[in-house]
Each structure stands twice: as structure tokens, then as C-alpha cells.
Amino acid sequence: MPHPDHDLQGLLSRLADGDRAAFPPAFTLLWPVTRAFARSFLRDEGGAEDAAQQALVRVFLRAAEFDASRPALPWVLGVVANECRTLRRKAQRRREGPLEEADARPDPGASPEESATGRDLERAALAALDGLPAPDVEAILAHIGAAGRPDLPPATFRKRLERALKRLRRAWSERHGTL
């Protein structure tokens, strides 16, 4: 059972209310989560660190707007994902540069169609996650390595993950009619 002071929902609600004492624990809790999520999102160690820092700044910039009736973790990850996407687009534009400077070498990475499909899938997955309860999101993110594993016995965590995946599948099929 986490201490209420260390609960993200409680900390963000206190920050939204203007309780400055919640700032240091919220920073300590959010920084590793943001960094891990940016790493898994961008898959680029150097860029991920910058993106995570900017994303964290963005999260605190918008902390006053946080609606305490909504789950905190999906809100935070939504802000971080948006920031990561923006930074990735900027980096992509910088890499592309003006047409006359472009050389004829083919891009060794994914094709534009593959990138677009990937982006669509990410957006759809985030939208489906957004509707889930906070413990479900926490379990799924821990499972894919984007956040720390909650302090639970393995069997409990397995059951929670199973339930969370079931709800995610249901949310996905309600939105997209597949799976």
C-alpha cells in the first residue's frame, strides 16, 4: 500500500491546488518515469534524455491544469508522449533539411509509410490507455518497461496485468473493432 504522499494522483492533485510541498516528491517520482517512457518511445539514448527533460518541464508547466478527477499517470504520459512526438518531428525536419542539400542516399530507417503507420499505432494505443484506470496503466507500462514495477507480490502483479490487458483489449476493440 503506497503512502498517500508518494501517490502520483495525490501529489499531482496537491500541485494543482498550489501545495508547493508536493513539488520535491512529485519531481522524484516523475523524473524516472518520464525518462523511461521517453527512452522506450524514442529508442535513442541521447535524444531521449533531452526529450525527457523537456517533457518533464512541460508536465510541471501544465500541473496547475491537472484535473484531479482524472487518472494522473495517463495524463502525465500523454503530455510526455506529445512532447516526444514534437521533438521527433523537429529532429526529422532538421535531418531532412532543404531539398537542394538532400543527397541521393536512401534512408536506412523506416519508410515514410512505416513511420506513419507506427505513429498512428502509438496514437491509438495512447488513446486506448487513456481510458483505463490508473493501476491498469501502471501495470501495462511496467510490463513493457516504460515505468517501474509496482511494489506488489509477483502473483498479484500477474493478475493485475492480466486484468489490465483484458481491459485494454476491450477498449481497443471498442474503438477499432479488431483484436
Partner 1 sequence: MEPSDAALLARTRRAYEQGRLRAALWRAAPLVPVVAWTWSWCRYPALAALCGAALVALTVAFRWRGQIWGRAVLPGLAAGLAPLVLPWLMRGASEVCVGEMCCSLCLLGCVGGGSLAGVLVGRRAAALDEGRGTFLAAAGALALLAGAPACAFAGVIGLAGLLIGFAGGTAPVLLARAPA
Whole-number Å distance between alpha carbons of 139 and 159: 10
- Smallest distance from the beta carbon of 58 to partner 1, in angstroms? 8
Q: Kindly state the DSSP code that residue 61 receives in the 8-state scheme.
A: H
Residues with Cβ within 8 Å of residue 171, at least 6 apart in sequence: 128, 131, 132
Site for partner 1 in 55-114 (CB under 8 A): 56-65
* CB-CB contact of 143 with 161 (8 Å): yes
- Judged by CB under 8 A, the residue of 27, 40, 91, 122 near partner 1 is 27
Closest CB to partner 1 among residues 59, 128: 59
Q: Which stretch binds partner 1 (CB under 8 A): 54-62, 95-103, 109-117, 133-141?
A: 54-62
Closest CB to partner 1 among residues 84, 168: 84
Residues with Cβ within 8 Å of residue 39, at least 6 apart in sequence: 45, 48, 52
- Smallest distance from the beta carbon of 20 to partner 1, in angstroms? 8
- Judged by CB under 8 A, the residue of 40, 53, 86, 115 near partner 1 is 53
Under the binding rule (CB under 8 A), the answer on residue 176 touching partner 1 is no
Closest alpha carbon to 40 in 111, 117, 161, 125: 125
- Smallest distance from the beta carbon of 19 to partner 1, in angstroms? 6
The residue count for binding partner 1 (CB under 8 A) is 19
Query: 58-88: buried (b, 16+ CB within 10 Å) or exposed (e) per residue?
Result: bbeeebeebeeeebbbbbbbebbbebbbebb
- Judged by CB under 8 A, the residue of 1, 18, 94, 177 near partner 1 is 18
* CB-CB contact of 8 with 73 (8 Å): yes
Closest CB to partner 1 among residues 15, 171: 15
Binding residues for partner 1, per CB under 8 A? Answer: 15, 17-19, 23-24, 27, 31, 53, 56-65
